[in-house]
Amino acid sequence: MIFTAKSAEFLRWAEEKERNIPQNIDGISVNIHDINNVKTSEIAKIKETINRYNSCIYSSSAPLESNITLLKFAELVGMRTYDCNNLESNEISTITPVENNKINYIPYTDKPLNWHTDGYYDRKPIFSWLLHCVNPATQGGENYLLDHELALREYVMRHDDINNLLAADALTIPESKDTSRAKISTYIFSFENQYKKLHMRFSMRKDNIDTSPKASAAIANLKRIIENDCGKYSLTYKLQKNEGIITNNILHGRNAFKDDKVKRKLLRIRSYERL
Ligand SMILES: [Fe+2]
- At 263 the three-state DSSP class reads coil
In the reported structure, the alpha carbon of residue 15 is separated from the centroid of ligand 1 by a whole-number distance in angstroms of 28
Report whether pLDDT(97) > 60.
yes
How confident is the model over 16-40, as pLDDT tens digits? 999 999 999 999 999 999 999 999 9
- Domain boundaries of the chain, sorted by first residue: 8-261
Helix or strand or coil: residue 116?
strand
Q: Residue 250 Cα, ligand 1 centroid: separation in angstroms? A: 9
- Across the range 234-248, mean pLDDT stands at 98
How far lies 115's CA from each of 203, 238, 250, 251, in Å?
6, 16, 10, 6
- Quote the CA–CA distance of 251 and 144 in Å, as a whole number: 8
- pLDDT of 228 > 70? The answer is yes
**Banded model confidence at residue 2, pLDDT cuts 50, 70, 90:** low
User: Which H/E stretch holds residue 152?
Assistant: helix 148-159
The pLDDT assigned to 191 comes to 93
201 vs 123: CA distance, rounded Å: 11
How far is the centre of ligand 1, averaged over its atoms, from the C-alpha of 240 (Å)?
A: 18
Q: What is the DSSP letter of 67?
A: H
Ligand 1 centroid–CA 29 distance in Å is 20
Report how far ligand 1's centroid is from the alpha carbon of 246 (Å): 11
Ligand 1 centroid to Cα of residue 118, in Å, is 5
67-87 per-position pLDDT tens digit = 999 999 999 999 999 999 888
| CA of residue 130 to ligand 1 center, whole Å | 10
For residue 68, how far is its CA from the centre of ligand 1 (angstroms)?
22
Q: Which of 149, 139, 102 is nearest to 1 (CA)?
A: 149
Query: What topology is assigned to 8-261 in CATH?
Result: Double-stranded beta-helix (3.60.130)
Tell how far the Cα of 43 is from the centroid of ligand 1, in angstroms: 23
Average pLDDT taken over every residue of the chain: 93
CA distance 212 to 20: 33
Q: For the whole model, what pTM was predicted?
A: 0.95
> Rounded to the nearest whole angstrom, what is the distance from the C-alpha of residue 253 to the centroid of ligand 1?
7
Tell me, in angstroms, the distance from the centre of ligand 1 to residue 268's CA: 9
Asked if residues 131 and 267 have their Cβ atoms less than 8 Å apart, the reply is yes
CA distances 206 to 13, 109, 211, 244, Å, are: 31, 19, 10, 29
Output the CA torsion 137→253→76→78 (10° steps): -170
Q: 35 C-alpha to center of ligand 1: Å?
A: 22
pLDDT digits (tens, 9 = 90+) for 135-176: 999 999 999 999 999 999 999 999 988 999 999 999 998 887
How far apart are the CA of 252 and the centre of ligand 1, in A? 6
